[in-house]
Amino acid sequence: MSRLRQSKRGLSQVVTTLILLVAAVLLTSVVTYYATNITMTRTQQEEARITKQHIWANGTSTVAGFKLQNLGGRDILVDKITIRDVEPPWVNIYYNRVSPGTTILGSMNITSSAKLTGPQVILFGRNYTQASMDIPLASGGEILFYVKEPPNISVQDVGTTCSLAVFTVNGQYRVECNVESASP
């Protein structure tokens, strides 16, 4: 009988504790991986890019121009535009939604602030609309912007670097560009 009792020994407490810890860590890792995978695939990221940025100045006017691309998986809402950290009024911002499938080659064309008047303006064969409030931009879309008379920019700034920023509800996108002479 005593021989039978001695052969029915269980695992030691140390081994049992290690097995339970390893099982708990593995289970936690699997649950964390699954939850992260679910949230990352179902959550679409916001990403925008400012390209073709220019700021032109001469003795009579200043104009900024740039292209905004929505590269993310969700639509965005352009909430504010600043040039040198100062927000121009919406009525000084003109935009053109680029048709899907259209490729914009080359740079933004230089223009005069005198041409940016009224609710609709045709520049270089494109119809630009005067902004009045926040501007939505669909995922994969592009918008061309012209800003008439950006505040704090003058002919004395030619050759200096200025920041240009676009604010959305969830993000801020900033680039820098040199102020260029608009005089021939």
| pTM over 0.85, yes/no | no
Q: Is the pLDDT of residue 184 over 80?
A: no
The residue ranges of every structural domain in the chain are 2-42, 48-181
> Shortest CA distance to 116 belongs to which of 100, 129, 126?
129
Q: What is the pLDDT of residues 14-31, one digit of tens each?
A: 888 888 899 999 999 998
Token pair listed for 168? 């959305």
Report domain 48-181's class.
mainly beta
Q: Is the pLDDT of residue 95 over 90?
A: yes
pLDDT at 49: 95
125: left (phi over 0), alpha (psi -120 to 50) or beta: left
Q: What is the pLDDT of residues 53-66, one digit of tens each?
A: 999 999 889 999 99
Report whether 62 contacts 153 (CB < 8 A).
yes
Q: pLDDT-derived band of residue 12, with 50, 70 and 90 as boundaries?
A: confident
pLDDT (mean) for 95-109: 86
Q: pLDDT-derived band of residue 2, with 50, 70 and 90 as boundaries?
A: low
